[in-house]
Amino acid sequence: MKERLSNSEKLVELTNELPDFCAAILIGRKAERELSTRVGYARDLCLYFDYLIANHKDFAGKTKKTITAYDMRNISPMDVDMFLTYFAEAHSPSTVKRIKSAMSAMFNLLVDYMQVLEYNPVKGAQKIKIPEKDFVIYLTKDEQEALLQTIKYGTGLTKRQMAYHSKFQKRDLAMVFLFLDTGIRVSEMQGLDMDDLDMD
């Protein structure tokens, strides 16, 4: 069975597939974005470059690794729109907005940091509208209690699920209490290290 990679290992693996200039935003500027965000950006950029190679005449015959920063001068806002329209066919607006953010971050790097482009073509592309939620969904006291009972005692679990229950009970209880008491996001919890916790 293949050993599961940590986020750091995933990031390095994905970055090694991408054009060399992408390393500056994914690894070199680590303080600007959470690790999980950078892993998501790396996945999104892999999809974007695969699309360019398959659909853009200036990238035909290239591989992700042979694309240079100067090749990106061939991308126009219309090219970005075409990709986003293609991508939106199979993805939700929030996913399309996320991949657009990854692309924009990459083009900003090429404009501001590497100075090989004069403008960011993503800025001229279509806006992604995401319907705003008018309310926050939260657990009632009874729902919280039912969740905690399941974690503490295995209430409602099948025999198969109970086999794993004792192994992960303390971890799951600690995580759920942290979620309920602080409102922390999953990505924020994922980024926590032992050094971030004040055990006193």
- DSSP letter at 131 equals P
> How far apart are the C-alpha atoms of 103 and 46, rounded to whole Å?
11
The tens digit of pLDDT for each residue in 7-57 reads: 788 888 999 999 999 998 888 766 567 788 888 899 999 999 999 999 999
> How far apart are the C-alpha atoms of 26 and 40, rounded to whole Å?
10
Is pLDDT of 165 > 60?
Answer: yes
Instruction: Give the number of C-alpha atoms closer than 13 A to the C-alpha of residue 55, restricted to the C-beta side.
Output: 14
Which amino acid does the sequence have at 3?
A: E
| Segment holding 91, helix H or strand E | none
Q: How many residues does the chain have?
A: 200
Over pLDDT 70: what percentage of the chain? Answer: 94
**Cβ atoms of residues 96 and 127 within 8 Å:** no
